[in-house]
Amino acid sequence: MDIEQFRKAGYQAIDRICDYYYSLNEQSVISKVEPGYLREHIPLAAPEKGEDMQVIADDYQKYIIPGLTHWQHPKFFAYFPTAGSFESIIADLYASSVSNPGFNWSCSPACTELEVIVMDWAAKLLGLSPDFYNSSGVGGGCIQTTASDSVLVAVVAARSLYQRNYPDTKMEDLVIYTTTQTHSLGAKAALILGLQVKTLEVTAEDRFALRGEGLRSALQEDERGGRKPFILIATVGTTSSGAVDNIPEIREVVKDYPSLWVHIDAAWAGVALSCDEYRKELYLDEINSFANSFCTNFHKWGLVNFDCSTLWVRDRKHLTDALDITPPFLRTKHGDAGTVIDFRNWHLALGRRFRSLKMWFVFRGFGAEGFREYIRRCIRLNEIFVGLIEQSNTLSLVTQPSLALTVFRVSPMPESSNQAALSTQSLNELNRLFFGRLSSKTDIMLTQTTLNGTFCVRLAVGSAHTTEKHVHEAFALVSEEAKIALELWKQTFQGAAVVG
């Protein structure tokens, strides 16, 4: 393809992306294809001769788009959003056009320098302590691939620090602390590193937040057992229910355990720190006062296209002490002089995409004000949904809603005050039936979860295209399906499941 053919294909791609967004509302959210659908349309090997871009682009429309789940769809309420933006697509296009693994300063100064700057922009937007700014020269922030990578980097840094401080520690004794509500990234980091993980229990009464007392008794128990907890992955906004670990209590406990690194995983909720009114409930002051590392994903609820996970550390030296390897062919005069940051020593891989450009375009295109307005709109939309649930006879909240996330389930009112409560198992059966029906719909997408044994359904608002209308439609559908599920369940179980 020559430059003029690229221009033509590029214009067409832009036009087709416009068409895609114009039609998004009419598309089903969930792909209707069956496993293996694509094999029928694609040959078993690459063609021998090059094909015309027009044919390829048409095949994308014909075979790929129907196989997509539309994460930008206004009625995508599943998982957490990956809320992209047009600003971000444009930035990524520029970045892609100069394909460039900016692993050190000299191999593309702009990549490093822009990242240094926009990570400080982001830190300021979120109200992070200046200790975390790159301009501090001590702490700093760096873009990672995903929150899993961010936590892995933090765990590696923490382990390396612990082993330097206590060189006789056996790997087998090291323990990573998580809770039952920590994202699977905690367990995965442990699998990857071959380390033990301790999963602390949390309760519905505490809204699934880790409390100080639970942490302290676990630490004491491990101390007695000779195990070495070296990092706690605390969560601000868990995946299942948006729970926020009790950071103030955690801070008090770790005062007595200064060698315990505290990583704050705020992959989803962290961007809400951009709004003053959520800083208290998300414990910003406490995070700022003691957390060793903090992560939020701008590619989730932050308008930056996937991938863009932002990780800040209070002491960059702990990253470079753990990860710095400089072979001869990577020596450069600036790197050797120590005047510039080589981000390759702040993450797992060597090469890295030019992702700061997306953050720059988004922050400038929206402005801090526009960014906050978007966050507030999502939360407001979720509050509308919560209001409707609260008025419902069939649906109820399972736990307090969190920002733009609601966890709910079908929970029938007792038919008479004499009727006993339904068992968890019985309610779970009902809700599995309910979710089974919901997930067979293709014009909306929600996900399931289980909270301490309670099966429930999650709705997370995040698409930049979601409006009140979509939330009302979502509620109408959920409400309708709840009624049908309830009816079917009553018929099937004929009240047999009601515990006497």
**In angstroms, what is the minimal distance from the CB of 437 to a second copy?**
13
Would you tell me how many other CB atoms lie within 10 Å of the CB of residue 439? 16
**In angstroms, what is the minimal distance from the CB of 151 to a second copy?**
10
How many residues bind to a second copy according to rule CB under 8 A? 151
- Which range in 251-259, 346-354, 426-434, 487-495 contacts a second copy by CB under 8 A? 346-354
Binder of a second copy out of 99, 418, 491, 494 (CB under 8 A): 99
| Residue 148 interacting with a second copy (CB under 8 A) | yes
Contact 142, 122 (CB under 8 A): no
Contact 350, 192 (CB under 8 A): no
| Residue 365 interacting with a second copy (CB under 8 A) | yes
**In angstroms, what is the minimal distance from the CB of 496 to a second copy?**
26
Query: What's the CA gap between 390 and 396, in Å, rounded?
Result: 6
- Which range in 166-174, 212-220, 277-285, 471-479 contacts a second copy by CB under 8 A? 166-174
- Which range in 109-117, 201-209, 390-398, 473-481 contacts a second copy by CB under 8 A? 109-117
Q: How many residues does the chain have?
A: 500
* β partners of residue 179: 200
Tokens of 461: 């608002």
Which is nearer to a second copy, 251 or 261 (by Cβ)?
261
Give 1's DSSP letter: -
| Residue 170 interacting with a second copy (CB under 8 A) | yes
Binder of a second copy out of 330, 397, 477, 498 (CB under 8 A): 330
Q: What are the helix and strand counts (H, E) for the chain?
A: 15, 11
Query: What's the CA gap between 497 and 206, in Å, rounded?
Result: 29
Q: For tokens 């699977």, name the residue.
A: 184
- Which range in 106-114, 221-229, 257-265, 481-489 contacts a second copy by CB under 8 A? 106-114
**In angstroms, what is the minimal distance from the CB of 121 to a second copy?**
4
Tokens of 28: 């089903």
Contact 356, 143 (CB under 8 A): yes
| Residue 466 interacting with a second copy (CB under 8 A) | no
Binder of a second copy out of 68, 138, 397, 497 (CB under 8 A): 68
Cis peptide before 307 (omega within 30 of 0): yes
Which is nearer to a second copy, 101 or 212 (by Cβ)?
101
| Residue 10 interacting with a second copy (CB under 8 A) | yes
Which is nearer to a second copy, 114 or 444 (by Cβ)?
114
Which is nearer to a second copy, 251 or 312 (by Cβ)?
312
| Residue 27 interacting with a second copy (CB under 8 A) | no
| Residue 166 interacting with a second copy (CB under 8 A) | no
**In angstroms, what is the minimal distance from the CB of 349 to a second copy?**
4
Binder of a second copy out of 137, 258, 325, 336 (CB under 8 A): 325
Would you tell me how many other CB atoms lie within 10 Å of the CB of residue 190? 20
Binder of a second copy out of 129, 179, 240, 431 (CB under 8 A): 240
Query: What's the CA gap between 439 and 476, in Å, rounded?
Result: 15
Would you tell me how many other CB atoms lie within 10 Å of the CB of residue 38? 12
Give 71's DSSP letter: T
Which is nearer to a second copy, 251 or 458 (by Cβ)?
458
**In angstroms, what is the minimal distance from the CB of 265 to a second copy?**
12
**In angstroms, what is the minimal distance from the CB of 67 to a second copy?**
3
- Which range in 112-120, 199-207, 387-395, 397-405 contacts a second copy by CB under 8 A? 112-120
CA-based torsion, 252, 183, 128, 352: positive or negative: positive
Which is nearer to a second copy, 148 or 394 (by Cβ)?
148
**In angstroms, what is the minimal distance from the CB of 334 to a second copy?**
6
| Residue 70 interacting with a second copy (CB under 8 A) | yes
- Which range in 81-89, 394-402, 419-427, 480-488 contacts a second copy by CB under 8 A? 81-89
- Strands 293-297 and 261-265 turn out to be parallel
Please give the C-alpha separations between residue 450 and each of 104, 209, 214, 446, in angstroms, as whole numbers: 44, 15, 21, 14
| Residue 177 interacting with a second copy (CB under 8 A) | no
Q: Which residues are CB-contacts of 190 (< 8 A; sequence separation ≥ 6)?
A: 176, 196, 197
Instruction: Pick the closest to residue 123 from 399, 310, 350, 309 (CA basis).
Output: 310
Q: Which residues are CB-contacts of 90 (< 8 A; sequence separation ≥ 6)?
A: 361
Binder of a second copy out of 130, 351, 387, 495 (CB under 8 A): 351
Q: Which long-range contacts (CB under 8 A, 24 or more apart) does 63-72 make?
A: 63/38, 65/20, 66/31, 66/32, 66/33, 67/31, 67/33, 67/37, 67/38, 68/31, 69/29, 69/30, 69/31, 69/445, 70/24, 70/27, 70/28, 70/29, 71/463, 72/21, 72/24, 72/463, 72/464, 72/465
| Residue 450 interacting with a second copy (CB under 8 A) | yes
Contact 499, 423 (CB under 8 A): yes
List the interface residues with a second copy, window 127-146 (CB under 8 A).
Answer: 135, 145-146
| Residue 200 interacting with a second copy (CB under 8 A) | no
| Residue 107 interacting with a second copy (CB under 8 A) | yes
| Residue 172 interacting with a second copy (CB under 8 A) | yes
List the interface residues with a second copy, window 280-319 (CB under 8 A).
Answer: 299, 305-307
Binder of a second copy out of 367, 387, 414, 495 (CB under 8 A): 367
